[in-house]
Each structure stands twice: as structure tokens, then as C-alpha cells.
Structure 1
Amino acid sequence: MYELLTTYRDELLYSLAVIILLMVIQFILKTAANKVGKKSEINFTRTRLMFKYINILILLIAAFLLAIAWGVGLTELSVIFSSVFAVIGVALFAIWSILSNITSGIILFFSFPYKIGDTIRIHDKDLEVEAEIEDIKAFHLHLRTREGELITYPNNLILQKPVSLIERNRYRDEGKDAL
């Protein structure tokens, strides 16, 4: 065991440093997303979705840095990553709509002026709808009309179409000062 530790001492130290650094970066990113969520009064389930995206990003960076630490050359890494990204690129091209909705979901997290409980009107030539925002998911919004109809509206379209605020959620500010 001692021989193993002395043989791979540099690699183990570098790996430990990378893991600690990435854990600190992950903590900072999650704290920042949490602060943005609280400041913008964003539902915590949406904030947890951002946590998942942060975890995936940190995991990819960790895999890359640890591969370098353990002696995988840049040429081998470039072959692996280009092959993986080529396969992912072909697969994602086939499902570009899902990517578009995920990206839109991230944009909505940081800059969507409407919150859960607000009543909005979407001005779309195919669908003119007035509804209350029931939930904001990674791919779509759940909208509830006054008649009780549930409409699932894609995130990418909510960013492309004009939206009017009809009524602000009147219960949003209740209890805000309690914390």
C-alpha cells in the first residue's frame, strides 16, 4: 500500500486538489443559483433543476481534469471527447427541440418576469390563451385556463411569443417578511 501511495503520490495529490477545487466551485455556483432564486422569488423546484445542471457541468469538468491527472494524453482525450460529442451531436440534432426547451428553461430561470400564480395572455396566431401559470418545468409551462383546462406550453415558444401580464399573483408577497 505504501509503495502504491509513493508511486502515484503526484497523481493522488492532483486528484485531491481537483476534487476539492471543484467542490468549492460547485458550492459557489449552487449558492449563487439559490440567491438568484430567492431574490427573484423563484420556486425552489426550479432552483433544484439548476442544481442538477451545475452537477452535470462539474462532473464533466472533473472527468476531464482527472483524466489528465492520471496520464491520459491530450490527443487521446481529444479523440474520446470528439467521438462522444459527435455521437451526442447527431443524437441531439435529432432532438433539437428538447435542447431548445432546456436552454429556454435556463433562460426563464434567470429572466422570466412572471411567476407561478400569475395570470398571463399568450398572443400566438395559432393559440390565443389566457391562463394562470401553475408550474414552470425544465421543458414547458403548465398553464391553467379559467375553465380548468391544463395547457402544456413549451419553454422555447414562451420566449418567442408576446406575453401580457393580466393579473399578478396576489398571495406572492404574503409572508415574505416572515423570514
Structure 2
Amino acid sequence: MSEPISTFLKPSLITLAVVIIMLLLRLIIKTSTLKIARKTQKNEARSRQIIRYVNVLLLITTLFVAMLIWGIDYTDVALIFSSTFAVIGVAFFAIWSVLSNITSGVIMFIYFPYKIGDKIKIHDKDFPIEAVIEDIKAFQLHLRTEENELITYPNNLFLQKPVSLLEKDVI
């Protein structure tokens, strides 16, 4: 084989292997997440949201590894990623509550003792809430009071307040 072809072939095969490994890892994580969701009776929409977060993380990791395989100097890659994350970090600082709610949503997916249909009481001294969990989203919970009032309650606040389970599966 000529020199240019063999020089190009080796990184191509390694990149292909990394992409295949990433796709297999993605499949394993997706299957595991859906299996855990079914076993713990989690909402399918929440499972898909977690899978999206993992897919983005895997994509960024794969791009980083591919850049290193193709010979881009790691200091250049580090500079690109650090600059990008600095800009993203400043933007996220401006919207920290959104990040807090997303993180809380992930934590609630992994460990959340309440399900859709459960009647709960949030012990907040200023604004106590007694309602049924109608839906669990990535950013907030949808709670329905006895007066048929819909309350959207941020996930991060839900994890900070004491909550009591009043009845299971009211709906």
C-alpha cells in the first residue's frame, strides 16, 4: 500500500472502532435505562429525557476522542473545549435555575419515591401544597389540587422541601 493510503487508513479504522464502541455503549445505556424505568414504573418521557442527556455526553466524548485520533494536538483540543465550556458556563450561570432543575430531574429519575397519581403534601411554611402528582417533567412537576388548580412546581425546590406521601395512586 502506498504511504498516503496507509497513513489515512489507520486513523479511519480506529475512528470507526470508536464510533462502533460509542454506539454499542449508547445501546446498552438506553436498554438499561428503559429496563430500570419499567421495573420502577417511571414515566417513559422521563426515560427518554435521561437518554438524551447521555447521548449528548457520549457525542461530545466521541468528538473529543476522534480529534485526538486524527492528530489534533491535545493542547489545541483542550483550548477549543475550554473556550467552548467557558462561554457555555457563562451562559449557564445566567440561567443557573434551569441547570438546577435539569440536574434535579435526573436525580428524581434515578431516585424518586413518588409516582404519577400519588397524593403528596409539600411542607413549605409560606406556601404548603397538598396535591396529586399529575406529571413529572424535566424541569418541573405538575400538581393538581383538590380545587382542580394546576401547580407547576420546580424540581429543584421539590428536592429541597420535606414532602409527605398522603395516598398512593389516587388517579
Note whether the superposition's TM-score is higher than 0.5. Answer: yes
After TM superposition, the structure 1 stretch with the greater mean CA deviation from structure 2, 31-40 or 109-118, is 31-40
1:129 aligns with 2:129: yes
Residue in 2 that maps onto 1:116: 116
In 1, Cα distance between equivalents of 2:85 and 2:142: 32
Helix, strand or coil: the match of 1:38? helix
Which residue is 1:87 aligned to? 87
Verify the 8 A CA contact 2:117 2:168 in the aligned structure 1.
yes
Q: Which residue of 1 aligns with 2:32?
A: 32
Find out whether 1:162 has 2:162 as its counterpart.
yes
| Unaligned segments of structure 2, at least 5 residues | none
CA distance in structure 2 between the partners assigned to 1:63 and 1:45 by the alignment? 27
Q: CA offsets per residue over residues 40-96 of structure 1, 9 Å max, x none?
A: 100111111111111101111111011111111101011101101111111111111
1:1-179 pair list within 5 angstroms: 5-169=5-169
Q: CA deviation at 1:7?
A: 3.8
* TM-score, normalisation: structure 2: 0.95
SS in 2 for 1:8: helix
Q: Distance in 1 between matches of 2:132 and 2:55?
A: 32
Deviations 1:27-51 (A, max 9, x none): 1111111121111100111111111
CA displacement at 1:5 relative to structure 2: 4.7
| SS in structure 2 at match of 1:42 | coil
Runs of 4+ in structure 1 deviating by more than 2 angstroms, as ranges, are 2-7
Conserved in 1, the CA contact under 8 Å of 2:131 and 2:146?
yes
Separation in structure 2 between the aligned mates of residue 81 and residue 25 of structure 1, nearest angstrom: 23
